[in-house]
Structure 1
Amino acid sequence: MALNISRRNPRLRRFLVVTAVVGASAALLAPIGVTPAQAADPYVSDTRPDLVPALSGYSSLWQTSGLNDLHGTVKDAPTLQWNDRVTSWINQHATKSQQFRALQNAAYLNSDGSGYDQSISIADGLGSTLGTLYAQGRINGDLPKVAALINSSNGTAGAYVSTSNAKAAFSYPRPFLNADPTASKVEGDTDACAPSKVNSSSLAPIRKGKSWADAKGNLKITRVPATVDTTHSFASTNVTLDPIYGESGLCTGGSYPSGHTTTAYQAGITLATLLPELAPQILARTSEAGNNRIVLGVHYALDIIGGRISGEVATASRWSDAAFRKEVLNPARKELVSYLESKCGARLAACIAKDTSYVNNPYAGAKIPGGTTQQVTDRKSALKVYTERLSYGFAPVSATTLSASVPKGAEALLRTTFPTLTNRQRRQVLAQTEIASGHPLDTTISSRIGTAPGSWQRLNLAAAMSATVQVRADGSVKVLSVGGKATVRRPAR
């Protein structure tokens, strides 16, 4: 979808870089910490959550050296081998068009106002027409409340948490790093990225002899070359798109969890709560933005799942804050709906009904290992693809029949989808739409002994936000179906 933007947002201004997101170069650094402007009006949720407990399932797969040097000990070789296999396959099979979309999603707004924001480049999740209108409104400054909330540079929700501490805590090497410390530096890379200084040698033993790696243990990853975006889809000027493999900010930083994916999900989940009518499509588009980090070969599938978890934790924290809901989130929803309806010329439901839904065919019809083609054509396929990317075909690593484990506060994410339900009922919806226990990063067992706050990994927000639920006479709810319009049925009187 081409989003024709005629002029730049006149309200763009310089912002301070307060924390470096791994995955951005010195020229394209993306801050995901809080800025002084954000701290002007304090909210309870301004004390940001610690991501490490929610991400702690990784510790059963990999034990870091503790030195934040990207070295450590493999604890679960089969799981990390699948991580390698899926990552290499996606990188090798993505279409040229998908590679370009991946470069677009990797872009952040520069400190001088050039480039474009990640929370705008997922616009087509709203559909062809509404996505164009949304992007135009963001760029032209017609959605100031939404922009202040959702942008990925310093938005109060879109740039809410930093992954820096989590990356250091797990310190896992990136997919494209050479496994051989004696290998020559790639031409054009900075000295800090030389294999003698940063490498994936700890993973070489589990890679040698595998079809997705070479004889020295290097994962088969093709670097996607930099290019220039001349489409003017998200900016009025041409924009250089560079995956920056050879920049120290990327190569020396931990791969897990993905910072870009975290910001994508902070923006995407927030946008889905502002427009729950389009939640499955918006969330599927958000999952594509995360998956695009694998397309570029800078992250693994587990990193993307970790980024989703981080985005869920962050957005739930904001929605759990009553004052922030009242003063920031609800006004942003009102602004966005009003804007879209005025530009579309009809009520939102009618605009959605006549629009062309978000579509995507990342691998030209080829099936990902253990999965499908991940093609999105409509609302139901959007839900299917989103659900598949919750686990990426990993084999279970623990019991698969454990009961639901809904993290405290997650129910707040369903407030706009089911405004007439209670928090208890919303939790029941989440519990009944969760995926099974036992997948990598699932913390169901840990949460039961008090070392993790429920299992964010199991949440299926696209299913929950498209559920038809029946309210029983005793006040409990039963999910009847998912993938349609979110609906509440109540007992006949």
Structure 2
Amino acid sequence: MATMLLCLVLMTGCATVEKHDTAPTARGGILGYLPAKQLPDMVALLPPPPATGSTAFALDQETSRASFPLRDSDRWALAIQDADLSFPAAAESFSCALNARITEQETPRLFRLLRRTLADAGNAVSRPKDTYKRPRPFMVNGERICTPGDEQRLRTSGSYPSGHTTAGWTWALILSEIAPERADAVLIRGRAFGQSRIVCNVHWLSDVNEGRTVAAAMVARLHVDPAFRADLEAAKAELAAARTKGLLPIRDCRTEAEALALPPVAEPQPTGK
């Protein structure tokens, strides 16, 4: 009786809780593919972030400092682009790697797949971010970031693991399956997408590395979802059709290639015992 009264008082109803566990979870108004209960438990799967004073945190700090020479370069400009996860802009992030245009009009199922998996990625990182509330690099080193307008929001969002990296690596794994002939270019782009967060001074190396772990766990779960598999197959057909029509990327692929050709973010090895 007490439980029933509580549900009525909260105006949510116990049935609503059950529905949320079995229905896809929305984020930013967009439904992901996975219900909450099917999301990987990343608090259980990931180790805690490196502790202050540890060798791993020293490596995080060294890698962060090693990225500073890239500021105001073409690589910095690409990192600014990679920071934008809004659509339709984000849909074109991998278009150069695919050598094909991705738009809501010309590749609607692929466009939808990218949007829905972005929602899943955001849902998957929310618990560890809230659990650890790790300060971001700019909060520790006092250096500027590539998107200063985001600073206040980023200060209230935990650094570990990287949500952008999770989204980018999720997309890279999925797109390399959709276009296996472009897999190397897609995976290189996916790795760079995560490294952009180090370049931007908003994530540590360990945030980025574990973001890829979240993505791998997410993609494994996605493959058992019928709606995801249907969109995946439709996206393969759409991409093939786009290539047949000669629909090339909208982005400046030459400038992107020049940025990616710059020395990557250094990932020095820890020293000492």
**TM beyond 0.5:** yes
Counterpart of 2:97 (choices 121, 125, 148) is: 125
Q: In 2, distance between residues paired with 1:99 and 1:250? A: 18
Secondary structure in structure 2 of the residue aligned to 1:277: helix
**Does structure 1 residue 83 correspond to structure 2 residue 60?**
yes
Q: CA RMSD in A?
A: 3.3
Q: In 1, distance between residues paired with 2:265 and 2:167? A: 27
Could you tell me which residue of structure 1 aligns to residue 143 of structure 2? Answer: 221
Deviations 1:456-493 (A, max 9, x none): xxxxxxxxxxxxxxxxxxxxxxxxxxxxxxxxxxxxxx
Q: In 2, distance between residues paired with 1:293 and 1:43? A: 26
Secondary structure in structure 2 of the residue aligned to 1:176: helix
Q: In 2, distance between residues paired with 1:326 and 1:362? A: 31
Q: In the TM superposition, what is the alpha-carbon distance from 1:326 to its structure 2 partner?
A: 4.4
Deviations 1:312-339 (A, max 9, x none): 1111211133x23542221221222222
Could you tell me which residue of structure 1 aligns to residue 118 of structure 2? Answer: 158
Q: In 1, distance between residues paired with 2:37 and 2:243? A: 30
Q: In the TM superposition, what is the alpha-carbon distance from 1:271 to its structure 2 partner?
A: 1.4
Identify, as 1 or 2, the structure richer in helix.
2
Q: In 2, distance between residues paired with 1:320 and 1:395? A: 42
Runs of 4 or more above 6 Å deviation: 42-46
Q: In the TM superposition, what is the alpha-carbon distance from 1:106 to its structure 2 partner?
A: 0.6
* Structure number, greater radius of gyration: 1
Could you tell me which residue of structure 2 aligns to residue 276 of structure 1? Answer: 180
Q: In the TM superposition, what is the alpha-carbon distance from 1:245 to its structure 2 partner?
A: 4.7
Deviations 1:118-143 (A, max 9, x none): 232232222xxx2xx324xx15x111
Alignment of 1:291-306 (within 5 A): 291-306=195-210
Counterpart of 1:332 (choices 217, 229, 235) is: 235
Q: Which has the higher contact order (CA 8 A, sep 6+)?
A: 2
**Does structure 1 residue 320 correspond to structure 2 residue 229?**
no
**Does structure 1 residue 98 correspond to structure 2 residue 2?**
no
Alignment of 1:237-252 (within 5 A): 242-247=147-152, 249-252=153-156
**Does structure 1 residue 260 correspond to structure 2 residue 252?**
no
Could you tell me which residue of structure 2 aligns to residue 368 of structure 1? Answer: 266
**Does structure 1 residue 176 correspond to structure 2 residue 133?**
no
Secondary structure in structure 2 of the residue aligned to 1:320: coil
Distance 1:307 1:47, change over 3 A: same
Q: In 2, distance between residues paired with 1:223 and 1:325? A: 35
Q: In the TM superposition, what is the alpha-carbon distance from 1:300 to its structure 2 partner?
A: 0.8
Secondary structure in structure 1 of the residue aligned to 2:151: coil
Task: Give the aligned length.
Answer: 242
Q: In the TM superposition, what is the alpha-carbon distance from 1:256 to its structure 2 partner?
A: 0.7
Counterpart of 2:45 (choices 54, 66, 69) is: 54
Secondary structure in structure 1 of the residue aligned to 2:266: coil
Secondary structure in structure 2 of the residue aligned to 1:145: helix
Could you tell me which residue of structure 2 aligns to residue 417 of structure 1? Answer: none
Query: Contact 2:78/2:259 (CA < 8 Å) preserved in 1?
Result: no
Q: In 1, distance between residues paired with 2:181 and 2:260? A: 25
Query: Contact 1:167/1:253 (CA < 8 Å) preserved in 2?
Result: yes
Deviations 1:80-139 (A, max 9, x none): 111101012113334521111111111132xxxxx743232232222xxx2xx324xx15
Q: In 2, distance between residues paired with 1:394 and 1:360? A: 30
Deviations 1:265-290 (A, max 9, x none): 22222211111111121011011111
Unaligned regions of 5+ residues in structure 2, if any?
1-24
Distance 1:365 1:268, change over 3 A: closer
Q: In 2, distance between residues paired with 1:147 and 1:164? A: 23
**Does structure 1 residue 309 correspond to structure 2 residue 185?**
no
Q: In the TM superposition, what is the alpha-carbon distance from 1:368 to its structure 2 partner?
A: 2.6
Query: Contact 1:45/1:317 (CA < 8 Å) preserved in 2?
Result: no
Could you tell me which residue of structure 2 aligns to residue 134 of structure 1? Answer: 101
Q: In 1, distance between residues paired with 2:46 and 2:270? A: 16
Q: In 2, distance between residues paired with 1:51 and 1:360? A: 35
Q: In 2, distance between residues paired with 1:297 and 1:169? A: 22
Distance 1:295 1:145, change over 3 A: same
Secondary structure in structure 1 of the residue aligned to 2:91: coil
Query: Contact 2:67/2:265 (CA < 8 Å) preserved in 1?
Result: no
